[in-house]
Amino acid sequence: MEQQNAKEITRVVGGLRGEIEIPGDKSVSHRSVMLAGLCDTPVRISNYLHAADCLSTAAAMEALGVSVRWSDDTTLTVTGRGFDGLTEPAGILDAGDSGTMLRLMMGLLAPQPFLSTFTGDAALYRRPMGRVIAPLSEMGARIAGRAGGKYLPITILPAEQKLHGIQYKMPMASAQVKSAILLAGLRAEGETMVVEPYPSRDHTERMLRAFGVEIRQDGTRVACRAARKLSAPDRIDVPGDISSAAFWLVAASVIPGSDLLLKGVGVNPTRTGVLDVLRDMGAHIERLHERESGGEPIADIRVRSAKLHGVSFGGAIIPRLIDEIPILAVAALFADGDTKITGAEELRVKETNRLHAVAAEYNKLAPCVEELADGLVIRGGAKIHHAECFSYDDHRMAMSLAVAGAAGDGVTIENPECVDISYPAFYKTMLDLQR
Ligand code: S3P
């Protein structure tokens, strides 16, 4: 193993203590710069996630003719040229590692009268894009992708005629697919409706409403019609990302002597499955100072160490904690009894195959994880050993391994720098909380 490409995390003695400002929500950051770029008045966005995924989206919007001015790392002013003002990019749009950027931008660009081509990193080339290309093509978009329209690279040909609305029954709960279809629906003839098996995160719907678009919502059905323009709010304050807060929720729960205050965390109910599961496991979690910011509920969250016990979960809660399963599996490692997670097959098509990655790497720390076709069984309470573990270049795997090592007997993480995708300050924050 290359030492310069590995990070040593040591066991934390005495707990993690202090306050943390949680970095901006990744999902909300992507959407804020995209929608602001469709307006003709400046929108000031604060607490934008200054991390690789969201920087790809800001760069793509600039390539489409939108002005993006940074006041500091997390504050930017986005000025578009109106709803019809995007222009053909001179080069290829690079989504990097970001499935959200790619899938939402495809929905945004499918109706446009110009050509756009996307690339991304090696991991993104392996992720399924047919799930977005198929419904957009049904709407009349002309999109070509490798392997018959399944994978990157992807080219969207200039739309020859106006797209038409569809009623689309999604085979999986996915906010990315839902959002891509709704964004295309803003420029389609008639009504566009998506129906999900379970509700996924609703940031697109909330933000579209904040931009003056009428969205009809009824359980798992969401519909929109063509908009003539978007009306920009003056500012968008991006809430802290509960998916980033989740690492501290679990770390503080399982490292004895911990007491953390996580500030400004987004607590949109479509994202709070992690709080529900941790509570069921016996975690000490309090929501304080609940308030609203930019159409999204936020709160400060206090978490203190607790003795956790195993639980079973699956079904409708999965989309509400889809990105938190690797870190919830760490909570399960340190809990008494077994935890069983089902209905989570979507984890196989995230930044890496997370069911496989969790089973393979956590079993190096303690042989107690069984991989199911659609989930995991984790036998908690085993002795955790130091091990060398691979991040799979997946930010959430790297941070989960770091928490497991900090609570266990240390860990060496290969390719640790992938945390830059969503939480560049993660390792430094972990050190700061030990002082
Ligand atoms: C996201 C939706 C989820 C999630 C991803 C962000 C979004 O993906 O895993 O990290 O911003 O819409 P799916 O919609 O594919 O489940």
For residues 299-314, average pLDDT: 98
Residue located via tokens 């929905």: 107
Centre of ligand 1 from the C-alpha of residue 95, in Å: 14
Centre of ligand 1 from the C-alpha of residue 293, in Å: 21
68-78 residue pLDDT tens: 999 999 999 99
pLDDT class of 295 with cuts at 50, 70, 90: confident
pLDDT class of 3 with cuts at 50, 70, 90: very low
The answer to whether the CB of 87 falls within 8 A of the CB of 67 is no
Centre of ligand 1 from the C-alpha of residue 337, in Å: 30
Determine the residue of 200, 324, 355 to mutate for testing ligand 1's pocket, defined as the one with the most ligand atoms within 8 A of the Cβ atom: 200
Centre of ligand 1 from the C-alpha of residue 175, in Å: 6
328-384 residue pLDDT tens: 999 999 999 999 999 999 999 999 999 999 999 999 999 999 999 999 999 999 999
Determine the residue of 26, 32, 176 to mutate for testing ligand 1's pocket, defined as the one with the most ligand atoms within 8 A of the Cβ atom: 176
Which atom of ligand 1 is the closest one to the Cα of 174? Answer: 14
Give the domains, in start order, of the chain with CATH numbers. 3-24+239-432 (3.65.10.10), 26-224 (3.65.10.10)
Which atom of ligand 1 is the closest one to the Cα of 319? Answer: 16
Find the catalytic residue in 25, 97, 323, 393: 323
Q: Is-catalytic flag, 323?
A: yes
Nearest CA to ligand 1 atom 4: 323
Distance CA 332, CA 341 (A): 10
Cα angle at 146 between 140 and 150, to 5 degrees?
A: 60
Helix axes 26-36, 52-63, angle to 10 degrees: 10
Task: For residue 19, give the nearest of 237, 288, 398 by alpha carbon.
Answer: 288
Q: What is the CA radius of gyration of the chain?
A: 21
- What lines the ligand 1 site, CB under 6 Å? 27, 100, 174-176, 179, 200-201, 322-323, 346
Burial of 122 (0-12, 13-18, 19+ CB in 10 A): exposed
User: According to the model, what pLDDT value does residue 293 have?
Assistant: 82
Distance CA 16, CA 124 (A): 34
Distance CA 142, CA 317 (A): 35
For residues 14-37, average pLDDT: 98
Cα angle at 362 between 359 and 365, to 5 degrees?
A: 145
The answer to whether the CB of 176 falls within 8 A of the CB of 103 is yes
Burial of 100 (0-12, 13-18, 19+ CB in 10 A): buried
Nearest CA to ligand 1 atom 13: 174
Which atom of ligand 1 is the closest one to the Cα of 26? Answer: 11
